[in-house]
Every structure is written in C-alpha cells, then in structure tokens.
Amino acid sequence: MTMPPRLRLILAAVVITVLIGIAFWAVGEVRVEAGREAERERPVATPQRVFTENGQRIVKLDVATMARSGIVGTRVEASDTAGTSVPTFASIVDTARLTDLASAWAVGQAQTEAARARAEASRASYERTRLLYADAQNASLAQVQAAQAAYAADRAGVSAAEAQANTSRASARQEFGPNLGLGSALVRALIERRALLLQAALPPAAASAPSTLSVEGDGVRANARLLGPAARADPRVPGRGVYYVVDGSSGLVPGMNVTVQLPVAGGRGGVAIPASAVVSWQGKSWVYLRKADGAFLRTEIATGQHDAGGNIRVDSIVVGSFVVTQGAQLLLSEELRSDAPAESDGD
C-alpha cells in the first residue's frame, strides 16, 4: 500500500522535530556537565587565619580547628628563682698528656727502686772493704776507693731516678692540679677510660660549683661529680675552670664540647615556660601567647636560664599569660604559610 504524499510529509516533519529536540537536549546536557566539572575543579577557598593588627601578625583559629589540631596551652606561673640555672659550655679534657706523665712517673719510680737496690748493695760492699782495710789492711786502699766510688755513683743514680719521677709528678700537678695525683686510683681510671675528666667554666653570676651537674652533648646525657678547681683555663671554655668526673661508659669522648647547667644566685623572678612551648625560627626562640580576643601572637624569648624544674625562665612575659604548650609548631606553620606566593592559574 502506497502512503499518500501528505501523510509522508507529516511523518517527515515529526521525525525532523524529534531529531531537533534530541539535539537540543544533548547540547543542554553537555553544558550542564561542563558546569559541574568546572565546579568540581574550582579550588576550595581557605579561610584567612593570619592578620596584621597594630603592626603585629596574629593567627586566629576557631575552637573546632584548635581542638582538631591539638592546640592547648596554660597560664604560666612564676619561676622558682631558688633553682635558677644558666647553660654554660664545657669540654671533655683530652688526658693523653696525663697518660704520658703517669707513664714517665712510673718508669721513674721503677728506676728509683732499682737504683736504691744497687746503692744499698754498693754501700754494703764499701763497708766490708773499708773494714777489711782497717783490719790490718786485708784489703788494699785502691779497693776501698773503688768501692766508695761505686757507692757514690749508685747514690747519684738514685737521685737522678727520683728527679725524673718528681719532675713528672710536678708537671702533672701544674697541668692538671693537685686532685689528680699520679698513681692514684682516679688517674688509673682516667688512663683506662673508665672515667672522663670534664672542665666547666663558672660564669660570674654562678654560685659555688655544685657537687653534681647534668651534662649534655651530641644527644648524650650524663651526670658528673665535682673534683675541684681546674689547674689552668681552657680558651674554649672561658671563666673560672672547675673539674668534674664523668663515667667512662657515658658515651662522651675526650675533646667533645658539651653543655652543662650551672646554678646562679640572685634570680630576678620571671615565669616558667615549658620547653614544649618553644619553637625556633630564623635562629631565634619563640612562643605563642593567646590574647584576650583569642588570637595567637608569636613572641620572641631568651632561653638562657632554667629553673629547678627544667623550665625556661623568661623575664619578658608576665605571670598569668596564656602560653601555647602543645601545637606551637602548627601555629608557626600556619603563620608562615600565609607568606607563600599564590599558585598560578596558568594564564
């Protein structure tokens, strides 16, 4: 059956209309998807957290962000001035010279004993010869004189050996002081590296040398006990030198520079800052103070003094200030991130 021309025309118009509708729908879907993709690729805006107020950079965080980041703090209290201490440099003394002197002294002692034995034998020989000569000249005068000369030579040998030993002892006393006597148990321990000698310097503000102190160097911590005044000043450790003894198994080695905490008198007060509150930047030490409005302000501090509890004693912060004790490094990172240049969009 042949379709009438009018019906074919109507059918063609319907098909064309449907195709046009599908085309418009497809174009619309493409535009919608493109919009969604652009929305997904749009960078998420980071809220501003670093501001400048009255010439000071501050960091502002909401409570949720603080809790999520673990940022906590405390109101600082007055420092214990009775136990205030200052870090000072010290060094583990190289005792190779002491070893040499002890060896020379030991040789001198042995030579002295041998010379004394020879002198005693020659003295007895001289006495026998002299008595024989006196008893009807049973020994000749030449024999007496020879025995006397041998005795005199052996006595001179004793004096020479004693002089060598005494010289070594005197040198050790001049170089290391009276508390390190050659032949003593302590010197033997130093020679065998069962003990180490530490020289610290007392600053002018320091009290008398403490009987014990804590030593730190290259990640090693050890305790040292007081020995006495140092015999000479160490140019690397200026100040009034004091000797301490450290256990040889501490991990410290001769020639190492270390740090010790020495007490000082006349503390002026200040507040106690926990070490966990301190961050380092550009070679300086900082803490974050929380202001009354909740903002955090980075404040430089001096870390030269400590109290008996190991806290840093700071004069520039008043009692009752709120100091961040955990999370200060996160605040510093947030503050410094605001200085980073924005990413280019590629245009």
H helix intervals, 42-140: 63-69, 96-134
CATH value at residue 246: 2.40.30.170
Domain that residue 166 falls in:
100-176
Task: State residue 17's pLDDT score.
Answer: 74
The enclosing domain of 328 has a CATH number of 2.40.420.20
Domain boundary among 244, 263, 282: 263
Alpha carbon distance 49, 51 (integer Å): 7
The answer on pLDDT for 208 being more than 80 is no
Tell me how many domains the chain contains.
3
Q: What is the pLDDT of residues 303-321, one digit of tens each?
A: 777 776 678 888 788 888 8
Q: Could you give the CA distance from residue 304 to residue 205 in angstroms, rounded to a whole number?
A: 13
For residue 184, being part of any structural domain is answered with no
Q: How many residues does the chain have?
A: 347
Any domain includes 121: yes
Residue 79 pLDDT greater than 50, yes or no: yes
Strand ranges in 248-347 using DSSP code E only, listed in sequence order: 257-263, 271-273, 279-281, 284-290, 296-301, 312-314, 322-326
Residue 242 belongs to some domain of the structure:
yes
Q: Which of 209, 238, 263 is the last residue of a domain?
A: 263
Q: What is the pLDDT of residues 254-288, one digit of tens each?
A: 988 888 877 665 555 678 888 889 999 898 999 99
| Same domain flag for 279 and 225 | no
Residues 252 and 284 placed together within one structural domain of the fold: no
164 occurs within a structural domain: yes
Do the Cβ atoms of 250 and 33 come closer than 8 Å? no
Question: Based on the domain organization, do 259 and 220 belong to the same domain?
Answer: yes
- pLDDT bracket for residue 48 (50, 70, 90): confident
Percent of the chain exceeding pLDDT 90 equals 12
What pLDDT does 140 receive? 82
pLDDT, one tens digit per residue, over 314-346 is: 878 888 889 999 988 998 888 888 764 444 344
In a domain, 40, yes or no: no
pLDDT band with cut points at 50, 70 and 90 for residue 14 = low
Q: Tens digit of pLDDT for each residue in 134-189?
A: 877 788 888 878 888 888 887 888 888 888 888 888 888 888 888 888 888 999 99
Residues 311 and 275 in one domain: yes
Sign of torsion, CA 228 233 239 244?
A: negative
Q: Which of 245, 263, 281 is the last residue of a domain?
A: 263
